[in-house]
Structure 1
Amino acid sequence: MQKRVMSIMLGFAALLAVFLLLFNLPEKEEVAQDSHPIVVPDTPVDIASAESIYKSNCMACHGDEFQGAMGPALKQVGAEMSKERIYKQIVNGGGGMPGYEGRLTEEEIVNLTNWLGSFK
């Protein structure tokens, strides 16, 4: 009895796979663009505070000399990414990085963003 049920389920799965291959899967939907662009204020950087935040939150993955480890190198992140993109990465995370919204204050995130944005 079990063999018969398993055979029927396997046959159904094979038919479903053939159907999907023949009639194509639906196209991926476009990701909605953010209607409110982020503008990172150009505030003076508190280097000591930014370094402290980096050491306690970022250094384990990005390295003590920004060389990268588990995360990418940040030595020239300001030349590779805009400040707005750096800000979004810190806030939302992604690609294995956790988001820091709620862990860091807005001022800390802006300060860290401006500091990293100066790495060119």
Structure 2
Amino acid sequence: CLNILIYFLILFFRIVFADFFIMNLILWVKGSSAAIPFGTLVAILAMWFGISVPLTFVGAYFGFKEKPIEHPVRTNQIPRQIPEQSFFTKPLPGIIMGGILPFGCIFIQLFFILNSI
């Protein structure tokens, strides 16, 4: 379990800090005032190793020390039948409805706003 914890810390840190550093490097090369100074990057790195890493280990220690969750009832050995699902609970109609409704709402609002100009 310690391997998983260390793997998570290293992987998460690499992804977040590399992304942040690359974006800041691009801003620095372009001469933007939005680029973060090097000292601030070092301070963020120090806070990461000084706060986040120890708290992750403390949380893992207390998490692994807890008893596993016991379910209050036994599960039945005979599986029950699952009823037939409606058409809108299947993935494709859900994806279509989840995309068309927000798009339609924004499209209609923008249509009326741009027509009034």
TM-score by length of 1: 0.27
Bigger relative contact order (CA 8 A; separation at least 6): 1
Higher fraction of helix: 2
**Over alpha carbons, which structure has the higher Rg?**
2
TM-score with structure 2 length normalisation?
A: 0.27
